[in-house]
Amino acid sequence: MGADSRVTVTEEITTLLIRSFGVEPGDVRPEASLRELGMDSLALEEMRVLLEERLNIDLEDVQLTSRETVGQLATVVGGKTAG
């Protein structure tokens, strides 16, 4: 079940990056850094709020930085959805 929730989280992050932040679909890869995708601190905060709303989770204690990759973000958020 853990792998399924991670796929769902990865899909949700990918959808948000493409639809809400204008990232090209081909650029969204697990190893791509959020900085590489054009995510600054303001965009990361907006992403946090959107993920909290869409996945009904609390990410207040999670520090999102643009150095993290899409895969790292999915792992952190997936951990919150599992718990």
- Taking only the tens place, the pLDDT of each residue in 25-82 is 999 999 999 999 999 999 999 999 999 999 999 999 988 899 999 999 999 999 988 7
- Distant-in-sequence contacts of 2-11, Cβ < 8 A, 24+ apart: 2/78, 2/82, 5/78, 5/81, 5/82, 6/74, 6/75, 6/78, 8/81, 9/55, 9/74, 9/77, 9/78, 9/81, 10/70, 10/71, 10/74, 10/78
Kindly report the pTM of this predicted structure: 0.86
Query: Domain spans of the chain?
Result: 2-82
Q: What is the CATH number of domain 2-82?
A: 1.10.1200.10
83 pLDDT higher than 80: no
